[in-house]
Structure 1
Amino acid sequence: MTGVPASAAGGSGAKPVRGGKLGTAAVNQASLWNIANILTMVRLLLVPGFVLLLFHNGGYDPVWRSFAWAAFAVAMITDLFDGHLARAYNLVTDFGKIADPIADKAIMGAALVSLSVLGDLPWWITGVILARELGITLMRFWVIRHAVIPASRGGKLKTLAQGTAAGMYVLVLTGPLATLRFWMMMVAVVLTVVTGLDYVRQAVVLRRRSLAAERAAVGRTAEALNEAAGSPGAGVADAGAVAGPASGAPGASGAGVSGPAVRVSGGSTPVEPTVGARDGADAER
């Protein structure tokens, strides 16, 4: 027992609920070293390890390529879990937002480029996939101010197809399995192109809608300001309504003091004096 409150020691003071998700307090306390970020870091570290295993002993050793496939498979599996864990248990951090997509692109890019260098995968396939991924990344920056496009079912299928096909190319396969992996890669290429074009279409539509909404909001604001500027001045009308009856009220003095006075013990106090009464009092002072 230290006598230090749990909040001062860095905790919330509340006991965690077994099997429950973290609440708002846990969101604020989510540190860099949470399970989601650790999985992302593992995936980043697996990228150079995968390349070394793939190229070991000339790059054509079936045993070492099996080890490389295992590293690639672990990296792809962590890709499925880290984002889900971060969202489900409120472990989203700035590091995760930046590192997770970098790790995704790094492991897939390393696999495609390495396979093309070894001559197992045509360079045009690597070029198409990498160009799509780079283009979509730039598109995100272009449209992020207007809207965020969620991951579609086609995008998830594309990722699954790419990972399956690349993994099959990492292994040394012959016969029907080699033919199967070729057609799996063709499916991945088609999904890559189709989902990329669909993303561009959604980005353009959302950007146009956002700009139209902004212009409409500006137009409504301008109309409101014009109506306010063109309407009669409420302050002037109210002043005339007050000064008019007061100037003709009986008992008005030459000093400009108008309006009845209510006598209270100790003197008379004007109740709600008019503009003329205040001006007269200022003149006497």
Structure 2
Amino acid sequence: MTARREDPAPSIVPAPTAPPASDSPAPLFNIANILTILRIVLVPVFLVVLFVGDGHSTVWRLAATGVFAVAAITDRIDGQLARKYGLVTDFGKLADPIADKALIGAALVGLSILGDLPWWVTLVIATRELGITLLRFAVLRHAVIPAGKGGKLKTLLQALAIGVFLLPLPDAALPFGWVLMGAAVILTVVTGLDYVVQAVRLRTGVSRAESTAGPEE
């Protein structure tokens, strides 16, 4: 009588586990930051194209509008990519609004030099943008305050208004441009005040934390 052969017990294979999530920071040299740098590089290109000839040639104004539009679109794309793929960096938080200000400021100054936009509009917006940029650097050692939704909307309105003034449109289209520019100026001032409040709160919070901290042993 032969012994019954028993089948070996099935081996238990552990289920594969997902790799642990990486906590490493996003690389500095990523597509979002590259687009931000590209926007800065396009600023002098835009100015050169804008001032070809007398600055009012239909062909060159269309070309300048195209360069401006490409640069402005990168602002939308780089932010989406940074948030979607976890590419947010301190460099991007700081450089992105600076790139916006450089592009918008160059367009406003260029239009004012050509006589297409009153200087008071350029001065109001430029003063706000320069002041906020200096304020960003002033609080940089405490924290980087990224541009909020209001700041992004402000930039969008500015870009749309500038686009209308750049295009060789008939005079009948100017009222539409002024509606956009007026809304952009108002939002520029309001968001600037909001940023000042944020910076003051941040600095006040840091000062209180330092004053309540005990002496180091």
Root-mean-square deviation (Å): 2.5
Preserved contact between residue 36 and residue 83 of structure 1 (Cα < 8 Å): yes
Given residue 141 of structure 2, which amino acid in structure 1 is its aligned partner? R
Give me the whole-angstrom Cα distance separating, in 2, the residues matched to 1:206 and 1:102: 20
CA distance in 2 between counterparts of 1:46 and 1:24 reads: 35
Corresponding position of 1:20: none
Give the equivalent residue in structure 1 for 2:174: 178
- Look up the match of 1:207: 203
Q: Which residue among 166, 169, 189 is the counterpart of 2:185?
A: 189
Equivalent runs, 1:244-283 vs 2, <5 Å: none
Q: 1:147 to 1:91 in 2, by over 3 A?
A: closer
**Any residues of structure 2 matched to 1:159-170 within 5 Å, and which?**
159-170=155-166
TM-score (norm 1): 0.62
TM-aligned CA deviation for residue 196 of structure 1: 0.7
Equivalent in the alignment of 1:106: 102
> 3-state SS of the aligned residue for 2:86?
coil
| Structure 1 residue runs of 4 or more that deviate by more than 6 Å after TM superposition | none
The alignment of Structure 1 onto Structure 2 pairs a total of residues equal to 197
Picking from 18, 22, 25, the partner of 1:24 is 22
User: Which residue of structure 2 lines up, in the alignment, with residue 282 of structure 1?
Assistant: none
Measure, in 1, the Cα distance between the counterparts of 2:155 and 2:181: 11
Matched, 1:36 2:32: yes
Query: Equivalents in 1 of 2:92, 2:124: separation in Å?
Result: 27
Between the aligned partners of 1:91 and 1:185, the Cα distance in structure 2 is: 32
Specify the SS of the correspondent of 1:57. coil
Identity %: 58
Find the structure with the greater CA-based Rg.
1
Q: Per-residue displacement from partner, 1:253-279 (whole Å, max 9, x unpaired)?
A: xxxxxxxxxxxxxxxxxxxxxxxxxxx
Paired with 2:165 and 2:130, the residues of 1 have a C-alpha distance of 22
Distance 1:197 1:27, change over 3 A: closer
Mapping of residues 46-65 of structure 1, within 5 Å? 46-65=42-61
User: Is contact 1:147–1:207 with CA below 8 Å preserved after alignment?
Assistant: no
Give the TM-score of the pair, scaled to structure 2: 0.79
- Gaps in structure 2 of 5+ consecutive residues: 1-20
Residue 97 of structure 1 deviates from its aligned partner by 5.3
Distance 1:134 1:61, change over 3 A: same
C-alpha distance in structure 2 between counterparts of 1:95 and 1:214, whole Å: 26
Among candidates 69, 76, 80, match of residue 76 of structure 2:
80
Q: For residue 106 of structure 2, what is the amino acid of its counterpart?
A: A
- Between the aligned partners of 2:90 and 2:212, the Cα distance in structure 1 is 34
Deviation at 1:169, TM superposition (A): 0.9
Q: Distance in 1 between matches of 2:50 and 2:42?
A: 12
Q: Which has the higher contact order (CA 8 A, sep 6+)?
A: 2
CA distance in 2, matches of 1:58, 1:67: 14
Alpha-carbon spacing, 1:205–1:45, altered in 2? closer, same or farther (3 Å) = closer
Structure 1 residue runs without a partner (length 5+): 1-22, 226-285
Q: 1:27 to 1:99 in 2, by over 3 A?
A: same
